[in-house]
Amino acid sequence: MPSNSIDSLLHESRRFAPSEAFSAASEASADLYTSAKEDRVEFWADKAREYVHWHKPFTETLDWSTPPFAKWFADGELNVAYNCLDRHVLAGNGDRVAIHWEGEPGDSRSITYAELTAEVKRAANAMAALGVGQGDVVAIYMPLVPEAVIAMLATVRLGAAHSVVFGGFSAESLRSRIDDASAKLVVTADGGWRKGKVFPLKAAVDAALANGESSVTNVLVVKRGDNEVEWTEGRDLWWHDQIEAAEPEHEAQGFPAENPLFVLYTSGTTGKPKGILHTSGGYLTQAAFTHKNVFDLKPETDVYWCTADVGWITGHTYVTYGPLANGATQVLYEGTPDSPNPGRWWEIIQKFGVSIFYTAPTAIRSFMKAGRQIPEQFDLSSIRVLGSVGEPINPEAWIWYRDVIGAGTAPIVDTWWQTETGAIMIAALPGLTTLKPGSAQVPIPGIKIDILGEDGTRVDPPNGGLLVVSEPWPAMLRGIWGDPERFKETYWSKFAQLEGEQYFAGDGAHVDEDGDIWLLGRVDDVMNVSGHRLSTTEIESALVSNPIVAEAAVVGAADEATGQAVVAFVILKSNQEHAQTAAEASALLRQHVAKEIGAIARPREIFIVAELPKTRSGKIMRRLLQDVAEGREIGDTTTLADTTVMQIISDKLN
């Protein structure tokens, strides 16, 4: 089983101390922990001055007078795009490559900081000409091409906020996100490359904006796929035409530290995705600080590659903002890991001499399955730091990653964080920490984490409990877009009985005798599929929106490759039971979920059943369904209203 279970982890005793050479050259030193411990708030003020250029310096560090609404560096002003671009050019690093971009078909572009700055300036002017300014939201629905990053930076350069919607989400998901944030402009592409084919994006934007009033006044379309697109005159504009026509100069203005930077939607325990709001100064400080220290970044010599798409938080913080704020050279790759050949990623590492590589356990496990003979065909000797994110990494995958990709020597930093936390919260610092495979280990300097029991008492090692962040942090979410009550309720109410605010992350964890933290997965109805967050209730809603479905229950079942997989149990409406076979109904419904939410949410399996296990109060007992989905013996059924239900379900499925 790929996800971590306490039993297997407690027996994990391998330890890997940093090499002397690595420690000697380490960016981070132990006094980071000491100074953060002495004065946590002052520590962050120092980091904000060290990592960020302020148009107007701040004099207040943290305002926590109205929790859970934090303000960091509130009277300071900055321009986030200036921090990621102009200041590097002004410091004489304009010729340094910012992005080595590789398209899936093999086309490639290297863009220097000077060139990236020039393109963002033009894009900002083009967007301003379309009326975008502070207070507006720009939706970005793109393949992983440089223009996706350029559009993000152009938006924030104007003081507007972006809402990036992952290109794999459906038109329906895009529509709800555009509407929720009242986006004014959409930036998209005709199509992008994936698995050797062009997938259309503009068509989904058209569908999302069809029928009904929309806040969107224009759609900017990047030419990438060269596929045919429909055109709405007056609304749709080609990106390249607008950029060419735009003025080249654009002076970056300072905006308040708490100016909204972006909204990013993520799945929660209820049906509707939440728009997580991040602001500027605190977010950029923690993004840059963690990127430098957790990955031991040396901007002059390293080539960094984070494989995330900018549609996810990892792509926001560790593709766009962290690396560019630090003046790093990075790789951006449009396609899938195995197109057009199973060694595509390793070929890219060899081509660009990637030295820091950051990816998800699910990818590592699938490479592991394909065999070490594939990466062994490539020269990966440039690698010196490896990172993992998105889900617990099982020790076998950890060891394989270090041995096969990291030549048996590269430190692995397992980074725990969330869309909501904005930046890394728990991770080893590679020059300082003795690594333990499977553990994310220690809070980064300046972050306070606790593991609590249900009753709010701190758990003693080696027991498990619930992970909370017990002090505000600079990159913390500032709220849920348009819904302050839901923000309080979701994250801050679980331990309301305790003195002091506790941010409840939704994860289980245990802490060992050394104080190292081992993540155990979600404790709520959120699934983690290939490192992506999906909500059981959101998929259930999608299923019952189909006219043939009477009732549906979804569980995340352990899966060798993807960590968890979506498994659904569906009761058909009585007039449908004989209209099609179970196989037909299940194929139709898998497709329906992909259309409603996106292909990532498509269930691995759908079981058509006659009953669902419910308690006397009508609550579906997902735990029992999970037993079925994972092929285990069914657990305790005594609390079911009808104890024969599970027998009926398993008889039908066997």
Query: What ranges in 387-510 are assigned the alpha helix state H?
Result: 395-400, 484-492
CA 518 to chain centre: 20
Q: How far is the CB of 516 from ligand PRX (least distance, A)?
A: 13
Q: What are phi and psi of 642, to 5 degrees?
A: -130, 105
Residue among 379, 282, 275 at smallest CA distance from 60: 282
For ligand PRX, which stretch binds (CB under 6 A), given 40-48, 339-347, 385-393, 641-649? 385-393
* Residue ranges in 630-649 that form contacts with ligand PRX under rule CB under 6 A: none
Q: What are the Cα distances from residue 124, in Å, to 54, 130, 150?
A: 20, 10, 9
Residues 6+ apart with CB under 8 A from 598: 166, 168, 169, 170, 173
* Residue ranges in 512-551 that form contacts with ligand PRX under rule CB under 6 A: 519, 522, 528, 533
Lookup: tokens for 509: 């964890």
Long-range contacts of the stretch 205-213 (C-beta < 8 A, 24+): 205/141, 205/171, 205/174, 206/230, 206/232, 207/171, 207/175, 208/171, 208/172, 208/174, 208/175, 208/178, 209/175, 209/178, 209/235
Q: How far is the CB of 507 from ligand PRX (least distance, A)?
A: 5
Output the CA torsion 174→175→181→183 (10° steps): 90
* Interface pick for ligand PRX out of 328, 440, 597, 612 (rule CB under 6 A): 440
CB of 327 or CB of 406, closer to ligand PRX: 406
CB of 112 or CB of 163, closer to ligand PRX: 163
Residue 634: how many CB atoms within 10 A of its CB?
A: 16
* Interface pick for ligand PRX out of 390, 431, 443, 603 (rule CB under 6 A): 390
For ligand PRX, which stretch binds (CB under 6 A), given 128-136, 405-413, 503-511, 564-572? 503-511
Check residue 456 and give left, alpha or beta (phi > 0: left; psi -120 to 50: alpha).
left
Q: Is 117 in the site for ligand PRX (CB under 6 A)?
A: no
Q: What are the Cα distances from residue 179, in Å, to 141, 182, 187, 273?
A: 14, 5, 15, 12
Q: Is 416 in the site for ligand PRX (CB under 6 A)?
A: yes
Output the CA torsion 318→502→28→78 (10° steps): 60
Residue among 468, 461, 443 at smallest CA distance from 510: 461
Lookup: tokens for 517: 């933290």
Residues 6+ apart with CB under 8 A from 258: 71, 72, 74, 279, 280, 281, 478
CB of 533 or CB of 602, closer to ligand PRX: 533
* Interface pick for ligand PRX out of 418, 536, 564, 626 (rule CB under 6 A): 418
CB of 307 or CB of 415, closer to ligand PRX: 415
CA 294 to chain centre: 17
Q: Is 281 in the site for ligand PRX (CB under 6 A)?
A: no
Q: How far is the CB of 37 from ligand PRX (least distance, A)?
A: 23
Q: How far is the CB of 200 from ligand PRX (least distance, A)?
A: 25
Owner of token pair 């998105």: 390
CB of 273 or CB of 603, closer to ligand PRX: 273
Q: How far is the CB of 483 from ligand PRX (least distance, A)?
A: 17
CB of 124 or CB of 425, closer to ligand PRX: 425
Q: Is 506 in the site for ligand PRX (CB under 6 A)?
A: yes
Q: How far is the CB of 322 from ligand PRX (least distance, A)?
A: 12
CB of 113 or CB of 312, closer to ligand PRX: 312
Classified as helix, coil or strand, 633 is coil
CB of 159 or CB of 167, closer to ligand PRX: 167
Q: How far is the CB of 197 from ligand PRX (least distance, A)?
A: 26
Q: How far is the CB of 519 from ligand PRX (least distance, A)?
A: 4
Q: How far is the C-alpha of 361 from the C-alpha of 532, rounded, in Å?
A: 11
Residues 6+ apart with CB under 8 A from 386: 356, 357, 358, 401, 402, 405, 406, 410, 411, 412, 413
For ligand PRX, which stretch binds (CB under 6 A), given 61-69, 383-391, 403-411, 574-582? 383-391
* Residue ranges in 224-243 that form contacts with ligand PRX under rule CB under 6 A: none
Q: What are the Cα distances from residue 199, in Å, to 203, 222, 225, 509?
A: 10, 14, 8, 39
Q: Is 626 in the site for ligand PRX (CB under 6 A)?
A: no
CB of 319 or CB of 519, closer to ligand PRX: 519
For ligand PRX, which stretch binds (CB under 6 A), given 388-396, 487-495, 590-598, 639-647? 388-396
Whether residue 210 contacts residue 202, with contact meaning beta carbons closer than 8 Å, is answered with no
Q: Is 411 in the site for ligand PRX (CB under 6 A)?
A: no
Q: What are the Cα distances from residue 374, in Å, to 101, 341, 343, 379, 383?
A: 23, 10, 6, 11, 16
Q: Is 364 in the site for ligand PRX (CB under 6 A)?
A: no
CA 622 to chain centre: 26
For ligand PRX, which stretch binds (CB under 6 A), given 68-76, 134-142, 389-397, 399-407? 389-397
Q: Is 400 in the site for ligand PRX (CB under 6 A)?
A: no
CB of 293 or CB of 314, closer to ligand PRX: 314
Q: Is 314 in the site for ligand PRX (CB under 6 A)?
A: yes
Lookup: tokens for 459: 């758990």
Check residue 613 and give left, alpha or beta (phi > 0: left; psi -120 to 50: alpha).
beta
Q: Is 163 in the site for ligand PRX (CB under 6 A)?
A: no
Q: How far is the CB of 566 from ligand PRX (least distance, A)?
A: 15
Q: Is 313 in the site for ligand PRX (CB under 6 A)?
A: yes
Q: Is 414 in the site for ligand PRX (CB under 6 A)?
A: yes
For ligand PRX, which stretch binds (CB under 6 A), given 17-25, 231-239, 500-508, 566-574? 500-508
Q: How far is the C-alpha of 319 from the C-alpha of 341, rounded, in Å?
A: 24
Residues 6+ apart with CB under 8 A from 401: 364, 386, 388, 393, 412
Closest chain position to ligand PRX (CB): 419
Q: How far is the CB of 481 from ligand PRX (least distance, A)?
A: 15
Residue among 225, 237, 244 at smallest CA distance from 186: 237
Residues in the interface with ligand PRX (CB under 6 A) total 21
Q: Is 433 in the site for ligand PRX (CB under 6 A)?
A: no
For ligand PRX, which stretch binds (CB under 6 A), given 92-100, 412-420, 574-582, 636-644? 412-420
Q: Is 392 in the site for ligand PRX (CB under 6 A)?
A: yes
Interface residues with ligand PRX (CB under 6 A) are 266, 313-314, 389-392, 414-419, 440, 505-507, 519, 522, 528, 533
